[in-house]
Structure 1
Amino acid sequence: MRFVSTRGQTPPLGFSDAVATGLAPDGGLYLPETLPQFSAADLARFEPLPYAELCFEFLKLFATDIEPSVLRAIIAKSYTTFSDPRIAPIIKLDERTSVLELFHGPTLAFKDFALQLLGNLYEHQCATRGQTINVLGATSGDTGSAAIHGLLGKPGTAIFILYPDGRTSPLQERQMACTGADNVYALAIDGSFDDAQAALKDLFADQDFRTRHRLSAVNSINLARVLAQCVYYLYAYLRLPAATRAETEFVVPTGNFGNVLAGWTLQKMGVPIHSFKVATNQNDILYRLFTTGDYRVSAVAPSLAPSMDIQVSSNFERFLYLSIGRDSAKVREVMETFKKTGGYKFENFDRDTFSASRCSDAQIPSIIKDVYQKYGYVVDPHTACAFADLSKDRPSLVLATASPAKFPDTIISAIGVEPKDPSLEALKQRPLKKHLLKADAGAIRAFIDANAV
């Protein structure tokens, strides 16, 4: 299997090279040259498989340059760190509403599904190629901690995570800045997530810099992130009741568009998921996109759901490429217009597949309280956004993207109960080690120059 850039101006790569490269040299994002198609017989064969084995059956179609026995071992290792043996359990709340819990990994967020795997893929590449690698990412909260914990102490690696100073939850920051690992650098940026992501893209555009440091991206711009996340959609679809499977809507809290993109990509592979609801917080560019067709940046307002405090959704480019028939020239035109003007007006969207909802900060505590009183179930602020406007016409499967224990202040204010997790309690006793930097590519470049492996 080969992987091509959405902008069509760089040669195709194999899986391992595309993973190691992250962002394509032409500024685009890698996607499979062709998408495999799953038949009803394939889905029937997949249905009884445990999570790790299903992940292997899926990823072996893409990671064709890794020996199958090696790939199976990498995948098995990646999911031994999850606290629930089901990996991604479905919790039924009532006849029409269920929750897919995606927070049983080591950092209590859905990002662990991809980043435990990606960390082990990086470790495999370092060992087999005899090279070091420096991993760079930007985060609005959960990606950074999950990426860091996927690479903790792994030989031949260093990881640099940019995050907006003061705009993550205290426990999210502690997960990044209290590891004590020598290969981890938590870089607190004076600015928003979008500022951090813009600096990251500038650094990856510096071909000499990225080559000199063997720089790889850990954000959802890395294709391994999207492919790994496809698996929990497939796993969940196969575990829905047969009677409602074909009509269930997946409701996805979304900021950087990578999570819902994975489900939509799986649908493009022939898995008959009915529809997706894109659930945003008050930073609602994706809500505006899917309700009006207008993709336009506005100011980021810090919220109770900080991982969704994003305006420029990096995975939108993959969605654009696939939805307009893989027309790289058109992608370049749209992205250039968006870069210059901060907006783009689209004429057509698949309204049967996508809908959207918006949740304000004022609504989040009341939704948490309502879900708790109705079901005795506690949701984190991001998952609460998904409950803002559930369908009355069909069953809903809400993707619970983080443990409520990561956001105790919001939960306490909403229901008077403090959610706890032993791993987070231990972090409160550790010293915080972060590096304060301006949201400037030059300052970040100098820091990496001084600390890269």
Structure 2
Amino acid sequence: MKYKSTRGKASNYTFEEAVLAGLSPDGGLFIPESIPKAPSDFLTKWASLSFEELAFEILSLYIDDSEIPSKDLQGLVNRSYSTFRHKDITPLHQVKDGLYILELFHGPTFAFKDVALQLVGNLFEYFLKRKNAGIENAADRHKITVVGATSGDTGSAAIYGLRNKQDLEVFILFPTGKVSPIQEAQMTTVLDKNVHNISVKGTFDDCQDILKGLFANKDFMSKYNLGAVNSINWARILAQTVYYFHSYFSLLRSLNITPGSEEAKKINITYSVPTGNFGDILAGYYAHQMGLPTSKLLVATNANDILYRFFRSGVCEKIVGDDGGVHETLSPAMDIVVSSNFERLLFYLARDAAGDASVPEAEKDIKAGEIVNGWMVDLKQKGRFDTGARVLAEAKRIFDAGHVSDEETVATIREYCFPEDASQAAYVMDPHTAVGVTAAKTLIPKTDARNIVISLSTAHPAKFSEAVEKAVKGQEGVQFSEFFKKVSPKEFDGLMTAERRVVLIPRAEEALVIEVIEKELGH
């Protein structure tokens, strides 16, 4: 399997090259040359596999054995998920009839980003060890400087995946005061020498723009051998496809339905995904294209609803404002205007609309790359682009979208914390999960038992105490402090008062970030 760019000007990259580079030289994102289909018998062959076994099977479709031998890949997978607290890695939890929560927060930092970044960290380490085999002189060793931007969970998950790894330095940019207190503490209390946090006065989009600028700076990128851990890194998307397949088989097992049976074919599954940078739901798109039986992928947004508006009109348009158009909400990881991974979907949509079956595949790729590049230029220069009716129709074949207010988010958390139905067990969810559940509740019709919603739970509720407190506050006979103590993991004890290390910069300027990086690296 080789990899190519969404801008159509780079191709024939190996998996290792795509993972280590993160961003293509032409400014695009790496995607596989083609999306492989799951084996024709996967519904029966994969039905009883563990998460780790399933991950190995799926990753093997995208990674040639000549690049990572099967034995090594299996070891990487097993090591990556040995850090999770639940035996199923991403367990499926039924909260009421027709609604299931896919819990993705059982990794080291209690967020879904761990599923991918534990693997990414081990991939970086694997590639570096291979490059440096037999090289004793420190000056001659191949090194990587990983730079990432975070709206909260990516930073801590990347740090926990990369901390204390040889020949690797990691720098994480986050917007000052715009991540949750727990998220900031998780990042800044990691004191390993190779971990560096940079607090940027601005928004997440500002941090993301700086990150893109660093990767576009060819001299800087070459000098420090930059690597990416943000969801632009292809390995992250690949790792996340696994839990879509795993949840499907978990669901059928819970319903005592045999995969591939006529009864299974009658089940209509909608995945509702709280969406910020579009990586999590994009993994669902790849799973669907590989053959996973999926009815719809529901893009659930908060007040930052640029994606919701796109799936209604085909127009991607920023909202102009002094704050860059970003609204601060109770679900801060989704407070994003420009979703980096959306470009990957746009490539496929443009490609499908670029010509009929008579058009050669290579020509379709080139045309699609030109179209996507034009859209990205328009978004940057004009603040909008219009894909047209044909592309929108193609998008709506699999995607739907909803947007959810803070008030609705709080109401949903409260509804499931204190269910009116005595037979329904209480369930505490974080605000991002609540956005997904709320969007599904308003858009999925209640018909019969064959319609099922699996809503992705992206973080542990203890990471977002403000939203949970708003939901619990005023509930008769409930003291929030006692309520939250039962919810909060023991791993968070003492975290807020632990020693921290972070560099503050007063403006969202690329030059200031470069100055910090060079100082920390001793250059």
TM-score where L is the length of structure 1: 0.97
Deviation at 1:40, TM superposition (A): 4.4
Listed one character per residue, the Cα deviations across residues 21-65 of structure 1 (whole Å, up to 9, x for unaligned) are 001111000000011112441231111110111101111121211
Among 430, 434, 439, which residue is 2:498 paired with?
A: 430
Deviation at 1:284, TM superposition (A): 0.8
Q: How do residues 285-364 of structure 1 correspond to structure 2 at under 5 angstroms?
A: 285-298=306-319, 299-325=325-351, 326=365, 327-346=368-387, 347=389, 348-349=392-393, 350-364=395-409
Alignment-derived partner of residue 440 in structure 1: 509
Per mean C-alpha deviation after superposition, the further-off stretch among 68-77 and 237-246 is: 237-246
Q: Tell me how large the CA RMSD over aligned residues is.
A: 1.4
Among 418, 425, 437, which residue is 1:373 paired with?
A: 418
Give the Cα–Cα distance (whole angstroms) in 1 for the partners of residues 34 and 313 of structure 2. Answer: 30
Structure 2: gaps (5+ residues): 133-141, 258-262, 320-324, 352-364, 420-424, 473-479
Alignment-derived partner of residue 121 in structure 2: 119
2:301 maps to 1:268: no
> What is the aligned-residue identity percentage?
40
2:16 maps to 1:16: yes
Give the Cα–Cα distance (whole angstroms) in 2 for the partners of residues 351 and 13 of structure 1. Answer: 31
Secondary structure in structure 2 of the residue aligned to 1:428: helix
Deviation at 1:244, TM superposition (A): 6.0
Alignment-derived partner of residue 36 in structure 1: 36
Alignment-derived partner of residue 236 in structure 1: 247
Secondary structure in structure 1 of the residue aligned to 2:186: helix
Deviation at 1:266, TM superposition (A): 1.3
Deviation at 1:321, TM superposition (A): 0.6
Which protein has the larger Cα radius of gyration, Structure 1 or Structure 2? 2
Q: Which residue identity is paired with 1:63?
A: I
Q: Residues 152 and 183 of structure 1 are in contact (CA less than 8 Å); yes or no, is this contact kept in structure 2?
A: yes
Q: Residues 275 and 354 of structure 1 are in contact (CA less than 8 Å); yes or no, is this contact kept in structure 2?
A: yes
Per mean C-alpha deviation after superposition, the further-off stretch among 388-397 and 47-56 is: 388-397
Give the Cα–Cα distance (whole angstroms) in 2 for the partners of residues 233 and 435 of structure 1. Answer: 38
Secondary structure in structure 1 of the residue aligned to 2:497: coil
Secondary structure in structure 2 of the residue aligned to 1:20: helix
Q: Residues 244 and 395 of structure 1 are in contact (CA less than 8 Å); yes or no, is this contact kept in structure 2?
A: no
Deviation at 1:233, TM superposition (A): 0.7
Give the Cα–Cα distance (whole angstroms) in 1 for the partners of residues 199 and 493 of structure 2. Answer: 22
Among 171, 178, 200, which residue is 1:160 paired with?
A: 171
Give the Cα–Cα distance (whole angstroms) in 1 for the partners of residues 112 and 335 of structure 2. Answer: 17
Q: Residues 5 and 12 of structure 1 are in contact (CA less than 8 Å); yes or no, is this contact kept in structure 2?
A: no
Taking structure 1 as reference, are residues 150 and 432 closer, same or farther at Cα in structure 2, changes over 3 Å only?
same
Alignment-derived partner of residue 208 in structure 1: 219
Alignment-derived partner of residue 468 in structure 2: 411
Provide runs of 4+ in structure 1 moved above 6 Å: none
Deviation at 1:451, TM superposition (A): 2.3
Give the Cα–Cα distance (whole angstroms) in 2 for the partners of residues 223 and 41 of structure 1. Answer: 26
Give the Cα–Cα distance (whole angstroms) in 2 for the partners of residues 452 and 308 of structure 1. Answer: 32
Give the Cα–Cα distance (whole angstroms) in 2 for the partners of residues 229 and 107 of structure 1. Answer: 16
Secondary structure in structure 2 of the residue aligned to 1:290: helix
Alignment-derived partner of residue 99 in structure 2: 97
Listed one character per residue, the Cα deviations across residues 316-354 of structure 1 (whole Å, up to 9, x for unaligned) are 100001122241111111111111111112322332411
Q: Residues 213 and 452 of structure 1 are in contact (CA less than 8 Å); yes or no, is this contact kept in structure 2?
A: no
Per mean C-alpha deviation after superposition, the further-off stretch among 347-356 and 374-383 is: 347-356
Deviation at 1:67, TM superposition (A): 1.2
Aligned residues: 453
Among 181, 195, 202, which residue is 1:170 paired with?
A: 181
Q: Residues 22 and 229 of structure 2 are in contact (CA less than 8 Å); yes or no, is this contact kept in structure 1?
A: yes
Q: Residues 3 and 14 of structure 1 are in contact (CA less than 8 Å); yes or no, is this contact kept in structure 2?
A: yes
2:445 maps to 1:392: yes
Q: Which residue identity is paired with 1:212?
A: K
TM-score where L is the length of structure 2: 0.84
2:148 maps to 1:148: no
Q: Residues 147 and 227 of structure 2 are in contact (CA less than 8 Å); yes or no, is this contact kept in structure 1?
A: yes
Q: Residues 2 and 12 of structure 1 are in contact (CA less than 8 Å); yes or no, is this contact kept in structure 2?
A: yes
